[in-house]
Amino acid sequence: MPSGFKILWTDHALSELSDTIKYLEENWTVSELIQFANAVDKTLEIISRHPDIFPTFNTGRKIRKAVVDQNNTLYYRIAEDSIQILSVFGTRQNPEKRK
């Protein structure tokens, strides 16, 4: 697919992204927030064009893990003609909270 796969966000992932942005707005500088947004955009572009590039996190459920930056990871699944973003996980959280 030359232009890349369509990116679809689950409600859960959007909620986590919103929580992450709220946290960053309260605790990081505007410059750092912009860097995070750019890192997310870059990661989504890579996933869209080369969805198999990131390692499999859960083989049975075909979930892949893309590290956005040292503090955040995207979990996604490849569908027929789209990418489903399942989670935006802050790496400083307890791994048991990962869904």
Is residue 34 in some structural domain?
yes
In a domain, 96, yes or no: no
- Tell me which H or E stretch contains 87: strand 82-90
77: containing domain: 6-89
Record the pTM.
Answer: 0.84
Beta bridge partners of 58: 63
Q: Identify any residues that bridge with 8 across adjacent strands, giving them in sequence order.
A: 84
Q: How many angstroms separate the CA atoms of 74 and 44, rounded?
A: 9
Let me know if residue 1 belongs to a domain. Answer: no
| Number of domains within the chain | 1
Residue with the two structure tokens 């955040």: 72
First to last CA, the chain: 29
Residue 97 lies in a domain: no
User: CATH number, domain at 17?
Assistant: 3.30.2310.20
Give pLDDT tens digits for 1-58.
456 899 999 999 999 999 989 988 988 899 989 999 999 999 999 999 999 999 999 8
| Domain membership flag for residue 61 | yes
Is residue 44 one of the residues assigned to a domain?
A: yes
- Token reading at 25: 């707005």
